[in-house]
Amino acid sequence: MSDIVLSVEVRERTGKGGSREVRRNGLVPGVLYGGDRDPVAITLKNNELVKAINSGKFLSQMITIDHKGETQTVLTRDVQFDPVRDFPLHVDFQRVNEDSVISVEVPVHFLNDEKAPGIKRGGVLNVVRHAIEVYSPAGSIPEAIEIDISHMNIGDSLHISEVTLPEGVTPTITDRDFTIATMQGSRAVIEDEASDEDETGEEAEVEDENESED
């Protein structure tokens, strides 16, 4: 059983009117679909749902839903929030099992940035993708994809081909070697290096002139 267990009730009335009625009663409407079974309209307790969302695992890990003692494992596919008060308005769940291969976005964590030559020189890591969409077994979705960037210098780019993904996990994008991050020099670093190059060039010109005079 997953870490998150939510109790649900089946609702008969659907549509906007049914959803408004559910919310007036302090509940959150939702839909359960997939798994070669018909979609089912459900309701969840608002406080239990908010607690699950705040756990940090609600969108990336399997969840167990319980309807009068009958349990199913699901994956959260969508959550709609009130744009002003930021509380959940509706949630969609997909039925899955541990072996179901599903597409999911997994956050990227960059490790050892303090050891990177580019950072030591005053560079900045430009994150192109904060998350990577992958195919993964529903029962072993990684909480994060960890990438060591201790080797990165200014001007370097990090591509998906350089990342070791967990076993059974593959990127959904396969037609190109997409960029995850780049190491960029700050303006001050670029100006300092340009100044050093100018000074070196001037010194070389002076040496050439002296040699010509001799």
Domains of the chain, start order = 5-96 (2.40.240.10), 102-190 (2.170.120.20)
Whether pLDDT at 208 is above 70: no
| Residue 77 · residue 119 · CB < 8 Å | no
pTM score of the predicted model: 0.70
Find the mean pLDDT for residues 158-163: 97
Q: How much is the pLDDT for 201?
A: 56
Find the mean pLDDT for residues 37-57: 91
| DSSP label of 166 | P
Confidence tier at 5 by pLDDT (50, 70, 90): very high
Q: How much is the pLDDT for 213?
A: 58
Q: How much is the pLDDT for 60?
A: 80
Pairing of strands 88-95, 27-34: parallel
The residue with tokens 């940090």 is 56
Q: Could you report the per-residue pLDDT of 84-98, keeping only the tens digit for each?
A: 888 899 999 999 988
Most confident of 13-27, 55-69, 104-118: 104-118
